[in-house]
A and B are shown apart, each in its own frame.
Chain A
Amino acid sequence: MSEIRLQIDGKEVKAREGMTVLEAARSEGITIPTLCHHEKLEPFGGCRICIVEVDVRGWTRLVVSCIYPVAENLVVRTRTEKVDRIRKMILELLLAHAPDSPDLQNLAKTYGADRDRFEKEASFCIHCGLCVRYCAEVKKKDAVGFIDRGIRKEISFIPEIAAKECWNCKECFPLCPTSYLQAAYVLTEALAFPSSSSEAVSEE
C-alpha cells in the first residue's frame, strides 16, 4: 500500500490509498461531524453533514468527506465559512424533522443552527440508514428496511423477521440519532407480535 500525503486544515496528514478523507482526518484527531457514518458499515454519504472543502487541480470543490477518497497533495479544509453555513442549513432542515434529538442539538450548538427556523414536520426519522444498514451488513438479518421514496420514505420492520430476531438483539437501538427506531419497533411489536413481549415480561 502506497502512502499518500495530504493537508487537512493546514496539517500534514499521511494516509493509505483507498482511505476516505474522513478516515484520514480522524486518524490525526481532526474532528469532522457525521450522522450516517459508522466504522463497521460501508460509507453511505446520506446525511451530508461531513461536507468539506477540497482543492483539486486549482479548483475548490465541496465534497462529502465520508465517501471522498484521499489523493496525493489534496488540500482539505473542514471549517470554512461556506462549510459551516452548509452544515448549519442541513442541521436546521433535519431539526424540522427531529427537533429534540440530542445528537442534532449538540451539533446545532456548534454551528449556530436555529431549531425553529423551519416549520416542524416531526417525522423523527432523518434517514441516516444506520439501523437498516447495520441490520443488513453486520447482523445480516434484514429485519428493518426503507419503504416508499422521497418525502414519504420511512423505515419499516418486517414483522415476521422482527418477531424472531429482534428480541435479543436490538443492537440498532443505540445507533439511532433520534430514537424514532425504537418507536417504530414498539409499534411493529404492538401490531404484529404483541404476545411475545408480554411473555418475555412474565418470564422475568
Chain B
Amino acid sequence: MDMDRVDQIIDKHRGEASSLIQVLLEIQSEYHWLPKEAVQRVSEKLQVPLSRIQHIATFYKAFSLVPKGRHEVHICMGTACHVRGATRVLDTVQDLTGIKPGETDMDLKFSLETVNCLGCCALGPVIEVDGKTHGKMSPAETAGVLKNYE
C-alpha cells in the first residue's frame, strides 16, 4: 500500500491531532475506505491512540473500515420516494449489481446504501451516485444511469 499519499495528507494538516477527522476524511475519499496500515500511520503521526481513532471511525457513517466500491450508490427510501416507487428502483439496482444495501460487489465497482431522505422529495424517487443526484427515476432509467459508471 502506498504510504506516501497518507503521509502527504498528514503533512498537509501539519500533523496536528485536532485535524484527525479531516485527515481521516481525506484518506477515506482517496482509498474509499480506511485501510489498517493507514489508520496505524495516522495514529503514530498524530499521536492519537488507535482505540480513539477506532471509536471515531465506527461512530461516523462517512468512514468505513472495510473496502468500499469506486462508486457509492445511495437510494432514497424516504416517504415521498417510497410512495413513488423507490422499492422498485432498489430492486432494479440490487438485480443489476448483485448486492444488497450495505454491501460492496466483488469488483469493488459499487457500494449500495439506502438513506432515509436526501431532501429533494419533489424529485422522487431519487438515487445519488458519487454525490450526483438523479431524480424521477424509473427502474429502466436507473439501469441507464448505472451504465455510465465504470
Contacts and interface: CB of A to CB of B under 8 A. Distances in A.
Contact of A156 (B49, B54, B59): B54
Contacts, number: 34
A84 interface: no
B54 A136 contact: no
- Contact-residue bracket for chain A: 10 to 19
A142 interface: yes
Nearest to A152: B58
Interface string B29-58: 000000000000000000001111011001
B59 A145 contact: no
Contacts of A136: 49, 51-52
A190 interface: no
Contacts of B52: 136, 142, 145
Contacts of B49: 136, 142, 145
B59 A132 contact: no
Contacts of B50: 142, 145, 158, 160-161
A21 B52 CA distance: 30
Given A142-B49, A145-B49, A158 B54 contact: yes
Interface of B: 49-52, 54-55, 58-59
Given A144-B51, A147-B54, 11 more contacts: A135-B51, A136-B51, A136-B52, A142-B51, A142-B52, A145-B50, A146-B55, A148-B59, A156-B54, A158-B54, A160-B50
